[in-house]
Amino acid sequence: MSHITLIRHGQANTEARDEESYDRLSPLGHQQAAWLGAHLDGSKAHHPRVFSGTLVRHVETATSMGVADGMTRDNRLNEIEYFNLAKLLEEQKGIPIPEEREGFVQHLPQVFAAWQNNEIENPPESWNQFETRVRDVLTEIHQDPGPALVVTSGGLISMVMAQAMGLDSLNMARIALAIMNTSVHRLYPIGDHLSPVLFNAVPHLEDPARHYAQTHL
């Protein structure tokens, strides 16, 4: 057993309002990932095991980081289908999808609460299914030896943190909204529990000349 480092993908298509259109990196997203890869190389970080989801933005991030060779792709590390959930919530409850970033601050907790309470009919997966797949895949990665690097998405990282810290859906949504593109998060085994020891770090973007690249969307 060893520690797990979670990486959120680089900036994706910020103009998208559906799953397919969102699922590719912007030019800035590729640059963020390349900077992170160079930072990890420079810090002599050692990750003999590398995993990612199967989404395009996950694989593109790992590729631009330079860690995709020999990487294991696992669809249990994929993001929630937020746009599809939001469309269902709009159709069934009349809650519109925001047009601007500020609107998502209120919208995301609404989606999470309705989803968790089974108030969205016929979702792509249930809240319980999402919880279970995240717990299962992290447990499997944790049980094998050697530090692991996991390239995934913000919603999944927020669920990992919620499970580790016993958070409700409102606080999980707050965490999800805070997570930056190509941010670094780390879990260490303390006893028989994976505990967060690093959250939302962007050391590769701390130079003032790169502050513009500290993006959330």
**For the chain, what are the domain ranges?**
4-203
What tokens appear for 139 in the block?
A: 């447990």
What tokens appear for 122 in the block?
A: 């016929």
As a whole number of angstroms, the distance between CA 127 and CA 111 comes to 11
What tokens appear for 12 in the block?
A: 């994706």
H or E stretch covering 96: none
pLDDT per residue, tens digit, the chain (217 aa), is: 579 999 999 999 877 677 888 899 999 999 999 999 999 999 988 889 999 999 999 999 999 999 999 999 999 999 999 999 999 999 999 999 887 777 888 999 999 999 999 999 999 999 999 999 999 999 999 999 899 999 999 999 999 999 999 999 999 999 999 999 999 999 999 988 899 999 999 999 999 999 999 999 8
Q: Which residues contact 37 (CB under 8 A, 6 or more apart)?
A: 64, 65, 66, 67
* Per-residue pLDDT tens digits for 142-155: 999 899 999 999 99
Maximum alpha-carbon separation in the chain:
51
Q: What is the pLDDT, as a whole number, of residue 129? A: 98
- pTM for the full model? 0.94
Alpha-carbon separation of residue 3 from 40, 77, 122, 197 (angstroms): 15, 17, 36, 10
What tokens appear for 47 in the block?
A: 């990750």
At 52, the amino acid letter reads S
Q: Tell me the average pLDDT of the chain.
A: 94
Q: Which CATH architecture has domain 4-203?
A: 3-Layer(aba) Sandwich (3.40)
As a whole number of angstroms, the distance between CA 75 and CA 157 comes to 14
The CA dihedral of 196, 197, 200, 206, to the nearest 10 degrees, is -170
Beta strands in 141-183 (DSSP E): 148-152
Contact 158, 150 (CB under 8 A): no
* Per-residue pLDDT tens digits for 51-70: 999 999 999 999 999 999 99
Contact 217, 14 (CB under 8 A): yes
